[in-house]
Amino acid sequence: MWPEVKQAKEENRYELVLSGTEVSERIEEEGGVDPSVYELSQLNFLRISKSPLTTIKDDVGLLANLTSLILQLNKLEKLPVTVGNLTKLKVLDVSFNSLEDLPSEINKLSNLSTLNLGSNKIRALPSLEGCISLAILEVGHNLLTEFPDICKESLVHLADVKLNDNQISEVSPDLTVLPSLKILDLGNNQLKTVPGELADCVKLKDINLKGNPLSDRHFKKVVEAERCTPKQVLGNIKQHCPRVNVSEGGKGGDGGKGKKGKRGKGKGKDDDQMDEMCNEIHVLTIKDTGPVVQVSSEVKDVRPYVVCCVIQGVDLSGENLKKFISAQTKLHDGICDKRMMATIATHDLNKIQSPLKYVVRKPEEIRIHPLVRGKEVSALELHKSLQQEAEAQRKQMKRNNVPGLHKFLHLVEEWDVWPCLVNSDGVVISLPPITNSENTKITQETTDVFVEVTSGTSLNKAKAVLDALIMSSLNSGIGSEKTPAGKSSMKIQQVRVEDEEGNLRVVYPSRTDLVFENEAVRIINADK
C-alpha cells in the first residue's frame, strides 16, 4: 500500500492528493494508482494530477462519497462508465488529458456543478440534461465540431460556458432557454454567423467571438476590436445578426421593444423610487496611484488565478471588524469549499506598496510573519507547525478527521513551489491558501481594505467569491457612508492584474461583475 493511501486509511482522512515525482514514478512502474485507493469509501476529495496515468479503474465508482474528483494534467484516454455512480460529485475536473469522449453515464450526476474538460481531444459531448446543478462547463481547446446539446430547460443554473478553441461552425439559437447564462466563450472556432437570438439571453454579460471567420466584415471588425466590450458585441448581434427562429411573433425586427423591453423609454418615477430603496456600490475606475498586481507565468502550475480590489472608506470600529472577519470565514467554509476552490486575503491598503507581485518560490525560501503569530518563519516551518497543531487537536477531540480550517493544508503538499504575494519591498504579505501577513493585517483603524482572491479552479470562481465578499460587506453595514434613504453605500476601487510584460490579465470589478441575484443593489460606475 502506498504511504499516502495507508495514512489516509489509518487516519480515516476525507481528502487524498496524489501528485509529484515519486507518485509519477510509481504510476509508471505499476501501470496505475494503488488499487487500495478505491477502498477509501470515506473520501470526499480525490486529486491525482501531473502524472503518466492513462486509465482509472471501474472501482472508482465505489467512492460514493466523493464531491470533488480532480484528475488534471495526466494522460487519461477514457473515463469508466462507473463515474456515473458518483452521485454526490459536485466538481469533476479532467482537463489537460487525452480524452476523446465521455461516458453517457455522466448524465446521472445531478449534483455536478462544475465540469472542466478543457485541453483534451473530445469531439462530441453526451447529453448533460440530467446534470441539473451544472453551473460551469469548460470544454475549451478540444475538437468539437458541433455546438453541444446543452440547450435544455433542466439546466437552469448553467451560467458559464467555455467552448473556445474548437471547430464549431454553428451556434444553437436555443441558448435563450438557459435562464442563468452569463458567460459564453466561443473564441477561435469556425463561426461564420451567429444567431440573433443571442441578444435575448437576458443575463448574458460576457461573450467572446474573437478569432472566428465571421462573414459580416463590419461585425467581425467590431468583435476583433481591441477595446470592444461584450455590451457592444451583443448590441451588434441584436441589430445585425439574423434570427434563426423567425416564427416567434416577428421578434426579429422589433429592436427589443416587444413584451420584454421598454428600453428606449428611460427610467420612470417608479424606477427612481425603487433605486432610493437600494443599497449602493460605487465602482471607481483605476487610478495611476492605485495598486497593481503583476503575475508571474510560473504560477500557472499551482494556483493561477488572482483578482483584487480595494474596499474604500470602511468603518471597522466596534464589532464591525469581527463581522468582516466572520464573513470571510463563512465564505471560506461555503463558496470557497474549505479553501479548496478559492482563498480570500485582506490587507490594510496603507500597509502595502505597489506594484505587488504574485510569484512562486520554494517553501523553505519563503519568509512570512503569519497572522497572530509572534515571529517570521519559513513557509515550510509554518506548514509543519500547523500540521502538528491540527493533529494534536484531532487527538484531543478524539475525531478521525482533521478539524477546522486545517483541512486545507494538504493543498500545497503536491507543489514543489508555493504561490505568494510579495510587496514591492520584497516582503511576503500573503501565502495562499494558508495565511496572510501580520505586517499588513486590517485593524479597527483600517479605512481602505485591499482584497485578494486566489483560485486554482477558474478566474470566474475567484470573481464569484469576491462578488460574495462585497455583497456580504455591504449588507453588514461596514461602509462609512449611507444613501439619502439611509441604505448602505460602499466604494469599490478597481485593481489591475497584469502579466510580467505589463499586459492586462483582468480588471476587477468590470462591467460584467457584481451581478447579484435577488438583492436590492444599485451599481454606479462613477468617480466621486
Q: How far is the C-alpha of 245 from the C-alpha of 242, rounded, in Å?
A: 9
Indicate if 458 and 331 belong to the same structural domain: yes
Q: How far is the C-alpha of 432 from the C-alpha of 356, rounded, in Å?
A: 15
Lowest mean pLDDT, pick from 175-179, 460-464, 520-524: 520-524
107-156: per-residue pLDDT in tens? 999 999 999 999 999 999 999 999 999 999 999 999 999 999 999 999 99
Task: Say if residue 429's pLDDT is above 90.
Answer: yes
Indicate if 513 and 373 belong to the same structural domain: yes
Number of domains in the chain: 3
- Answer yes or no: is 502 within a domain: yes
- Answer yes or no: is 265 within a domain: no
Among the ranges 203-217, 220-234, 262-276, 466-480, which has the highest mean pLDDT value? 203-217
Q: What is residue 248's predicted lDDT score, i.e. its pLDDT?
A: 40
Maximum separation of any 2 CA atoms in the chain, in Å: 73
| DSSP H helical ranges for 247-354 | 269-276, 320-333
pLDDT band at 406 (very low <50, low <70, confident <90, very high): low
Strand partners, 451: 309, 346
- Answer yes or no: is 331 within a domain: yes
| DSSP H helical ranges for 14-74 | 21-30
Task: Say if residue 59's pLDDT is above 80.
Answer: yes
Indicate if 284 and 239 belong to the same structural domain: no
Q: How far is the C-alpha of 318 from the C-alpha of 37, rounded, in Å?
A: 50
Grid coordinates representing 238 are: 441584436
What CATH code is carried by the domain that includes residue 219?
3.80.10.10
Nearest 10 degrees: Cα torsion 455, 89, 16, 399: 100
pLDDT band at 263 (very low <50, low <70, confident <90, very high): very low
Indicate if 221 and 104 belong to the same structural domain: no
pLDDT band at 256 (very low <50, low <70, confident <90, very high): very low
Q: What is residue 177's predicted lDDT score, i.e. its pLDDT?
A: 92
- The domain containing residue 11 runs over which residues? 1-109
Global pTM reads 0.57
| Across 429-440, average pLDDT | 92
Q: Which of 198, 223, 257 is the last residue of a domain?
A: 257
Grid coordinates representing 468 are: 460574495
Q: What is residue 356's predicted lDDT score, i.e. its pLDDT?
A: 94
Q: What is residue 271's predicted lDDT score, i.e. its pLDDT?
A: 44
Lowest mean pLDDT, pick from 63-72, 369-378, 404-413: 404-413
What CATH code is carried by the domain that includes residue 484?
3.50.40.10
Indicate if 284 and 195 belong to the same structural domain: no
Q: Which of 223, 257, 291 is the last residue of a domain?
A: 257
415-426: per-residue pLDDT in tens? 889 999 999 999
- Answer yes or no: is 132 within a domain: no
Closest CA to 196 of 210, 176, 223, 215: 176
Higher pLDDT, 422 or 456: 422
Lowest mean pLDDT, pick from 130-144, 161-175, 489-503: 489-503
Q: Which residues touch 34 (CB under 8 Å, ≥6 apart)?
A: 1, 2, 5, 26
The answer to whether 137 and 159 are in contact (CB under 8 A) is: no
- Answer yes or no: is 124 within a domain: no
Indicate if 192 and 68 belong to the same structural domain: no
Q: How many CA atoms lie within 13 A of 488 on its CB side?
A: 18
Q: What is residue 391's predicted lDDT score, i.e. its pLDDT?
A: 75
Q: What is residue 126's predicted lDDT score, i.e. its pLDDT?
A: 94
Q: What is residue 354's predicted lDDT score, i.e. its pLDDT?
A: 87
Written as one letter, the residue type at 317 is: S
Task: Say if residue 517's pLDDT is above 80.
Answer: no
Higher pLDDT, 149 or 239: 149
CA-to-CA dists, residue 189 to 2, 95, 164, 165, 186, angstroms: 44, 19, 7, 6, 6
- Answer yes or no: is 268 within a domain: no
| DSSP H helical ranges for 291-422 | 320-333, 379-397
Grid coordinates representing 496 are: 489591475
Q: Which of 51, 86, 109 is the last residue of a domain?
A: 109
Higher pLDDT, 327 or 517: 327
pLDDT band at 252 (very low <50, low <70, confident <90, very high): very low
Task: Say if residue 193's pLDDT is above 50.
Answer: yes
Q: Which three-class secondary structure state does DSSP give residue 458?
A: coil
pLDDT band at 266 (very low <50, low <70, confident <90, very high): very low
Distance linking the first and last C-alpha atoms of the chain: 64
Closest CA to 453 of 369, 331, 370, 290: 331
- Answer yes or no: is 266 within a domain: no
Indicate if 252 and 299 belong to the same structural domain: no
The answer to whether 177 and 248 are in contact (CB under 8 A) is: no
Grid coordinates representing 392 are: 494534536
The answer to whether 41 and 71 are in contact (CB under 8 A) is: no
Indicate if 93 and 169 belong to the same structural domain: no
- Answer yes or no: is 122 within a domain: no
Q: What is residue 371's predicted lDDT score, i.e. its pLDDT?
A: 86
Q: How many CA atoms lie within 13 A of 420 on its CB side?
A: 28
pLDDT band at 254 (very low <50, low <70, confident <90, very high): very low
pLDDT band at 273 (very low <50, low <70, confident <90, very high): very low
Task: Say if residue 99's pLDDT is above 80.
Answer: yes
Indicate if 105 and 202 belong to the same structural domain: no
Lowest mean pLDDT, pick from 23-27, 409-413, 492-496: 409-413
Grid coordinates representing 170 are: 454553428
| Across 292-303, average pLDDT | 91
Our measurement of the distance from residue 333's CA atom to the centroid of its chain's CA atoms, rounded to an integer in Å, reads: 15
Q: Supply the mean pLDDT for the chain.
A: 86
Q: Which helix (H) or strand (E) holds 217?
A: helix 217-224
Neighbour count for residue 365 (Cβ, 10 Å): 12
Indicate if 423 and 475 belong to the same structural domain: yes
The answer to whether 142 and 119 are in contact (CB under 8 A) is: yes
Closest CA to 362 of 273, 298, 440: 298
Query: How do the residues of the chain divide into helix, strand and coil, expressed in percent and rounded to 5?
Result: 30, 20, 50
Task: Say if residue 408's pLDDT is above 90.
Answer: no
Task: Say if residue 403's pLDDT is above 60.
Answer: no
Task: Say if residue 277's pLDDT is above 50.
Answer: yes
pLDDT band at 261 (very low <50, low <70, confident <90, very high): very low
Indicate if 92 and 239 belong to the same structural domain: no
Indicate if 212 and 148 belong to the same structural domain: yes
Q: What is residue 240's predicted lDDT score, i.e. its pLDDT?
A: 79
Strand partners, 430: 421, 436
